[in-house]
């Protein structure tokens, strides 16, 4: 009997380890797509591109119908997400160049990443996919709080493994040579044999399998459906009725991501950890329709804009058992909130002041207020600003003001700036106060590629 009691105690302890309380440092997964259109998920109404895997998150949890990112292009948006802070506060206001010898070309070392903070809380951390926070050795994922990295350093990448012909980033001679490098597993180059999206999904499932007994944080940063438009026949064959080749390829790329999300969610369930794992899904910015045939309807604008089509993205999350299933939440939230939510649940304090909020009390009904009174955006190069309140949205630049009743006019069809000048000035004053908290860019951006190379003629030389 004594031996049976010991065995029972062991099995009970093991079971408890396998099924930690949902409140005891839950796992956190962020699934980020690249350049995905607002309308191109089932939970936002897509019928042309089925996304049953991604839609599982929405069915299990909440859809943020007014979910925003902190910038309208990849690099700054991801910097905001990974730090929980407006990226303009630390000068990450442009898309970084591929400059592997420049220690300032990327996320400043003054900033803690979500990986840094979650590690302090005892989490195992990983980033899989696109980094885009700097290629210098001091700026790479393993130096920025991540135990594991599988992916690439630049702003985009080829999807077919036979196109990855450069052994290392040091062989790059131009900005876009980074698309052709072999992938990195931590600091070592590897030979990948699968379609890139499938490879990232495989690595994500494997990470969860290996680390599910203790708290983990995984940032799964797909580069799909960002250009180049490349898909395998497995996914292309799912869309025989789409005649436009670019749209068909885009749909296939989204479908590949969806398969990966579905496999990941299934793995969580198989391991019995789906109820103590938060899963966030969002795109890094709106779709660039002309580049990848994405669909942002009913929103106005595209990637790069401060119209809704550039900054309002498909955004959903699940925490089964704690966040009500099938919920829709329409108050404005932002990608910065993910960091604040994660560290609150991990019971750890970051060194820098965050700009997001813990979303859980708002979703459970514990807090009936608004997560944000206002949200802000700046495009330094265009001298363009925007602010969103609960009911108004202002975009202003040198020669033009746009004011929208954003609750009633999601498509931003009616510019109220001329008829509601007092409201315009009120919102501009909010921006003027916010501007005091931000700084100029600390590095040159993608649009200054040629100028940067002239100033740094040894940019790609060993």
User: In this model, does residue 21 exceed pLDDT 70?
Assistant: no
Residue count of the chain, please give it. 462
Instruction: Read off the pLDDT band of 8 (50, 70, 90).
Output: very low
- Which amino acids are annotated catalytic? 74, 132
Beta bridge partners of 62: 317, 327
Mean pLDDT of 404-414: 97
- Asked if omega into 225 is within 30° of 0 (cis), the reply is yes
Is there a contact between 280 and 264 (Cβ–Cβ < 8 Å)?
no
Is there a contact between 450 and 101 (Cβ–Cβ < 8 Å)?
no
Spell out the residues 6+ positions from residue 322 whose beta carbon is closer than 8 angstroms to its own.
Answer: 22, 23, 275, 360, 364
Using alpha carbons, list the distances in angstroms from residue 155 to 59, 95, 96.
Answer: 32, 8, 8
The dihedral built from the CA positions of residue 79, 83, 84 and 88, taken in this order, carries a sign that is negative
Query: pLDDT, tens digit, for every residue of 154-189?
Result: 999 999 999 999 998 888 899 999 999 999 999 999
Is there a contact between 130 and 150 (Cβ–Cβ < 8 Å)?
no
Mean pLDDT of 68-96: 98
User: In this model, does residue 65 exceed pLDDT 90?
Assistant: yes
User: In this model, does residue 386 exceed pLDDT 70?
Assistant: yes
> Tokens representing 285?
């910015």
Q: What is the pLDDT of residue 24?
A: 79
Instruction: Read off the pLDDT band of 190 (50, 70, 90).
Output: very high
For a pLDDT cut of 90, what percent of the chain falls above it?
A: 92
User: In this model, does residue 9 exceed pLDDT 70?
Assistant: no
User: In this model, does residue 4 exceed pLDDT 80?
Assistant: no
User: In this model, does residue 19 exceed pLDDT 90?
Assistant: no
- Domains and their CATH numbers in the chain: 24-364 (3.40.720.10), 375-448 (3.30.1120.10)
Q: What is the pLDDT of residue 14?
A: 41
Mean pLDDT of 298-326: 96
> Tokens representing 217?
């944080």
User: In this model, does residue 12 exceed pLDDT 50?
Assistant: no
Spell out the residues 6+ positions from residue 92 whose beta carbon is closer than 8 angstroms to its own.
Answer: 75, 76, 79, 80, 107, 108, 441, 442
Strand 375-379 and strand 384-388: the pairing is: antiparallel
Instruction: Read off the pLDDT band of 7 (50, 70, 90).
Output: very low
Mean pLDDT of 327-347: 97
Q: What is the pLDDT of residue 23?
A: 60
| Average predicted confidence (pLDDT) for the chain | 94
Instruction: Read off the pLDDT band of 461 (50, 70, 90).
Output: confident
Query: pLDDT, tens digit, for every residue of 108-137?
Result: 999 999 999 999 999 999 999 999 999 999
* Residues 290, 46: Cα–Cα separation, whole Å: 19
The dihedral built from the CA positions of residue 447, 112, 138 and 154, taken in this order, carries a sign that is negative
Give the three-class secondary structure for 64: strand
């Amino acid at each position: 009997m004594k031996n049976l009691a010991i065995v029972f105690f062991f099995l009970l302890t093991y079971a408890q380890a396998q099924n930690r309380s949902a409140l005891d440092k839950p796992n956190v997964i962020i699934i980020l797509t690249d350049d995905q259109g607002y309308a191109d998920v089932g939970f936002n109404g897509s019928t042309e591109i089925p996304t049953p895997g991604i839609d599982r998150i929405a069915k299990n949890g909440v859809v943020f119908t007014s979910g925003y990112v902190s910038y309208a292009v990849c690099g700054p948006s991801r910097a905001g997400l990974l730090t929980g802070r407006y990226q303009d506060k630390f000068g990450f206001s442009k898309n970084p160049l591929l400059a592997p010898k420049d220690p300032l070309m990327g996320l400043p070392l003054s900033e803690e990443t979500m990986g840094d903070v979650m590690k302090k809380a005892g989490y195992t951390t990983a980033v899989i996919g696109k980094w885009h926070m700097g290629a210098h050795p001091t700026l790479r994922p393993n130096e920025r709080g991540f135990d594991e990295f599988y992916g690439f350093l630049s702003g985009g990448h080829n999807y077919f493994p036979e196109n990855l012909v450069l052994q290392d980033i040091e062989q790059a001679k131009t900005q876009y040579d980074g698309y052709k490098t072999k992938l990195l597993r931590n600091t070592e180059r590897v030979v990948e044999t699968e379609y890139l999206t499938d490879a990232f999904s495989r690595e994500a499932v494997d990470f969860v399998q290996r680390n599910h007994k203790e708290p983990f944080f995984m940032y799964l940063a797909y580069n799909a459906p960002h250009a180049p438009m490349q898909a395998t026949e497995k996914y292309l064959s799912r869309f025989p009725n789409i005649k436009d080749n670019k749209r068909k390829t885009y749909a296939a790329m989204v479908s590949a991501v969806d398969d990966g999300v579905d496999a990941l969610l299934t793995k969580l369930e198989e391991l019995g950890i789906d109820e103590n794992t938060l899963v966030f899904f969002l795109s890094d910015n709106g779709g660039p329709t002309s580049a990848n045939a994405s669909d942002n309807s009913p929103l106005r604008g595209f990637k790069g804009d401060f119209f809704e089509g550039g900054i309002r993205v498909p955004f959903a999350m699940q925490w089964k058992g704690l966040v009500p299933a099938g919920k829709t939440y329409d108050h404005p939230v932002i990608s910065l909130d993910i960091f604040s939510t994660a560290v609150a649940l991990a019971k750890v304090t970051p060194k820098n002041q965050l700009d997001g909020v813990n979303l859980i009390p708002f979703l459970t009904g514990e807090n009936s207020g608004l997560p944000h009174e206002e949200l802000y955006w700046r495009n330094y190069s265009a001298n363009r600003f925007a602010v969103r309140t609960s009911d108004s949205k202002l975009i202003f630049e040198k020669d033009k003001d746009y004011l929208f009743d954003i609750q009633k006019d999601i498509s931003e069809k009616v510019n109220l700036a001329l008829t509601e000048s007092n409201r315009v000035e009120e919102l501009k004053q909010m921006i003027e106060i916010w501007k005091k908290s931000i700084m100029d860019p600390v590095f040159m951006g993608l649009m200054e590629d040629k100028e940067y190379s002239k100033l740094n003629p040894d940019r790609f030389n060993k």
